[in-house]
Structures are given as structure tokens and as C-alpha cells.
Structure 1
């Protein structure tokens, strides 16, 4: 073999870099509380490098551009998990302030400053964070404010009110507001979140109405829409379809978070109802997980749709976060799968810790958990996913999610969100005569300016 000096030098540099990264990687002993919590503390510090709310002019509960509002909800949901697993109150005030600040004017996580971008899935991810607060007995709001249960019920009520039976036989649209791109698209993530939220509320409150909603949404996803297909006792979970062709032309992308949220929703229902039907459904999603396990190491997770090609967007680089949380919940709620999941969680956590060896701080996390070091990727998504998988190694040392019968302390309101005007599918808003007059004046001014510019150009 005839190697040039340049190629030998490059190889040595790469080897040196990899060895250096491994030396700087987080020192992790999976399942050991002190080790795990020391590691996740550093990861959270890295997450908060992207946080906007503590800076002048920033917004409490928001992360910096290019990160989206839904990712903030996912990040704080993960931090609640860390608060619970590690019993560390360092960020308790920040988490609490963020959940309260982003509730919106009607306490349903539809804040007016998100109306240009918020979809059903965005609202749902804040709902998932609030469910974490509810089920973990996170610091409750004062008695004159809606509790975490009431806030999650408001998310559920407003989402369920947008159920659209006129197109594709049911389902939620991707978007809430008619003017947002994607309003004509129905996707799994919006509907899986509604199913999942209903399942958890049913378990927490022991109210069968939520279970019935979960069953309705589930039936539409699996039997009506065709978004989820069963082949050889394995579920294939697609992304969604447009309503123009009655949802008949599926978008075939397969993402971790779609499968994870469905699987965990079934796990909550099985734990609550003890109905074997839901255990069987969990089995089928577990079978479908194989495409998200790295071919060179069958116990390490990866985002197969985009990761190997190096084309994961900011959104997609966050998906393994909620998948890891859902896998941990399923491992706790469905004991027959605990050992299998723990192998994946532990191996993936070890890989994630090795990936957290980059950046100027030496502990910035990457996306590829099979690489053996930092792969050069970095961002909020990489930090969130590492946080979730590493802290999940502690799940067997802590209690399962609480319900109101097992110690849950959150106050609820089954009617929460039903008195707001922006929950319907058509999103009708009351417009006053003053608003109409103002709009007419503004339109006239714009037309005059346009005509003046046109004359000026002709001259």
C-alpha cells in the first residue's frame, strides 16, 4: 500500500481527534444516579446556551432562532424529567416560569404571538410537557391559577374540538390556523399526540371519556386513514397525506417520534385498562422499532430517515428526544418489554455520552450515537436527545407516572379551554365594527401608496 505523507498525516489527525474526544466525553456509568445526573447537568447547561428568556429582550420560555416554539416545549418536558429522576431543583424556577409564561391568554397553549406558526403538533408538545409536570408532581401553580391537569385538559379540549370529520373521514389537520401552510395536510404527529394526551388523561383521571376519545383517534389512524399499516405483526407508521385526494396519497417518511408517541399511548392505555388489546398493540410498535436501530449496532438508536444522509433539519434532530422519553415510559408501564428496552436505552446512552465530547466546552453533543465521539453536529436537538436517553437509564429506580389515585396532586378542570374562540376547526374570530373600519382604512392607504408608486414609475 502506497500512502502519501498527506494521507498519513490526515489519518493521524483524525485518530488524535477521536482519542481527544473520547477523553473529554462525559464520564457516564449508566444507571448510576450520581454519574447520570452529573452528565445530564452538563448537557442541560449546553441546552441553555440556546435559551433566549434570560437575555435582554428575550422571551421567557423561548429558545433562540432557528429553534421553534414546539422544541421549547419538548426541552422543558425533558428538564422536568431530569428534575424528577435526579431530584435536582437547580432549574425548577426556570421550568415553572416557562410553562406559565407560554400558556397563552386563554390558558390553552395557543399564545397569540405564535399564531403565524403554531400547528396542532406544536400545541401538543407543550401539552406533553404539562403532562410531565402533572404526572411527576412538579411544583403546582397557585390555587387561583389553572393546575397542570387543567392546562393539559385545555390542550385536549381545544385539539379535540378541531377534529375534522368532513375530510378523510376524520382526523386533525396539521395546522390550527387557515392561513398557515399545511392546513390542507393531515399528519400522524398531530393525531398521535391527541391520542397520546387522551390516553394519559384517561389514566390520570380514571375518566372513560378520554379513553373513548383515544380509541376514536386510534381507529382513524390505523383503520380509516391508512397512515399506520400492519404487516406481519409489525406497524409501519407513515407521516400523513393531503386532504385534496381524501388522504389517499401517503407521504412515506418514517420518523422515530411518530412511532414512539403511538407506542407509549398504547402503553398508558394498557397500564390503565389492563386490556390485552393494548398490550398487543404495544408489541406491534416494538416490532416496528427495528428500522430505528443502527445496522452496525442493533441497540443504538438513529433517525433513519435523514441521519445517515446528513440531511436532518433542526426539527428532525429533536425527534429522538420524545422517542427516548416514550420508550422509557413504555418500559416502565409494560414490564414484558422492560429488559429489551433497557438494552437499547443503556447502549444508546453510552453512545450519546461519547458523542458529547465536542465544542469549545468539550461536552457538546452530536447526533450520531454510534460514531464513538463527536461527529461535528451540534444544537438544541442534539442536547435534548442526549438528555432524554441518558436520564432514562434511571427509570427503574423511580416510580411510574402518578395518577390521581397513586399520589398525583394536580388540580383539574374538565371544561378548561371550551370557552375560547380559537379552538374550532374553522377558527372563527369575532371582529368588531372598529376592527372592520380600521381594516378598511388600512386597505385604502395601501392602495393609494401603490397607485402613487405606479405613477412615479411611469413618469
Structure 2
């Protein structure tokens, strides 16, 4: 998608950057799973490892749909981004404190959640919300004095503010002197090896 947005050159014999991005989007979107938790994406495709719904793959689909909506002007992408955001607000994202759960167990209908916080989860939602907000405030894509559009703008602006503030609170915790850190791993906690990479992202 970045290649399309930045107008990278491409071979005429190959599919366009937009086509490639759209193919990835369609592959992800068809895996939206309503058999549990009323939606979301499972952590992995393989059934043996699919017992969780996690914010990162869902957030990547959200970001992809938001970027495609802004780039193409196609409302279908924007509608899916809106649907994903609302699902998260009901399932993984506490919009009161802007805490994004790291995982939810499918067998509990996503009631059993891990509340660890990782920066990379927040980043995809923040950027996706920014793309949608930018699209909303573009005068060419909204009707003047439309209450529904104003309500949507408020929704995305609040989302951006909430995610930004939570991310800064998480990465620069005042109780540890405002030093940059990922609290889940760094305050006297022994982390599994795979977690150390998540701290850096």
C-alpha cells in the first residue's frame, strides 16, 4: 500500500501496487470470523493455533481498509474500517481508559482477555484511525453541515487522542520517572524471548 501511496514505479507486466494491496485486504477480510465473539480475526489460520483473537491481525486489517478507503475513496473500505473499530470497542478496546487487550480466548466468547499492553498493537490502530480521520476532514469526501459526518469526525478524533495519550502513558510511565520503557517487560519482569521483540516494535 505504501508503494501505491508514494507512487513507486512498477513493471507494466506486473499487477499494480493497488491491486496487490487490495488482494491482501480481500484475503484478510474473508477471514472475518463471526462464529465466535461476533467477529474478529483469529490469531492464526491453522486450527491448532487459532484459539485466540488478537488485536494485531485485526488491527492490520483495520489499517489496510482505512488506507484503501483514503486512497481510493471507496466507501466499502471505510465501512469495514468502521465495523472493525466498533467491534474492537465492544471486545478488545476499553475506550474509557484506552487499554487494548493483547488477546481474547475464543472458547470464552472473548470474555477471558490478556490485558498486557504492547506498543505495536496500538500503532496499527492509531495509524488506521489517522487515515480515516484524514479522509473524514477532507472536504471533498463529506457533506457540509452533516450531523452524521460530524459525529464520525468526533469518533475518530477521540480515538486518536485516546490512543495517543495511552501510548505515551504506556511508553513513558510517570511512576518510573518518565523513562521510555515497555512496562510489561522491563519493571523487574522476566519475559519470554518472543516478548522482547514486541517491546521494540
TM-score (norm 2): 0.83
Cα displacement string for residues 136-181 of structure 1 (whole angstroms, at most 9, x for unaligned residues): 23342x12212221111111101100111111111111111224x2
Q: Could you say which structure has the greater relative contact order, defined with CA pairs below 8 angstroms and 6 or more residues apart?
A: 1
**Aligned match of 1:185:** 52
- Cα offset for 1:242? 1.2
> 2:131 aligned to 268, 288, 297, which one?
268
Distance 1:202 1:320 in 2: 29
Q: Does 1:229 align with 2:94?
A: yes
- Cα offset for 1:239? 0.8
**Aligned match of 1:6:** none
- Cα offset for 1:193? 1.1
Change (3 A) 1:301 1:137: farther
**Contact 1:306 1:312 (C-alpha < 8 Å) held by counterparts:** no
Residues 239-318 of structure 1 mapped to structure 2, 5 A cutoff: 239-274=102-137, 275-289=153-167, 290-295=169-174, 296=176, 298=178, 301-308=180-187, 309=189, 311=191, 313-314=193-194, 316-318=196-198
- Cα offset for 1:245? 1.3
> 1:196 aligned to 57, 60, 63, which one?
63
- Cα offset for 1:310? 5.3
Task: Please list every run of 5 or more consecutive structure 2 residues that lacks an aligned counterpart in the other structure.
Answer: 138-152
**Contact 1:302 1:320 (C-alpha < 8 Å) held by counterparts:** no
> RMSD of aligned C-alpha atoms?
1.9
**Aligned match of 2:8:** 138
Number of equivalenced pairs: 183
**Contact 2:63 2:125 (C-alpha < 8 Å) held by counterparts:** yes
Task: Please list every run of 5 or more consecutive structure 1 residues that lacks an aligned counterpart in the other structure.
Answer: 1-130, 322-459
**Contact 2:119 2:198 (C-alpha < 8 Å) held by counterparts:** no
Cα displacement string for residues 105-157 of structure 1 (whole angstroms, at most 9, x for unaligned residues): xxxxxxxxxxxxxxxxxxxxxxxxxx2222223342x1221222111111110
**Aligned match of 1:176:** 45
**Aligned match of 1:16:** none
Distance 2:28 2:135 in 1: 22
**What SS class does the counterpart of residue 186 from structure 2 fall into?**
coil
- Cα offset for 1:307? 2.9
Distance 1:257 1:149 in 2: 24
Distance 2:5 2:193 in 1: 31
- Cα offset for 1:312? 5.9
Change (3 A) 1:242 1:310: closer
Structure that is richer in helix per residue: 2
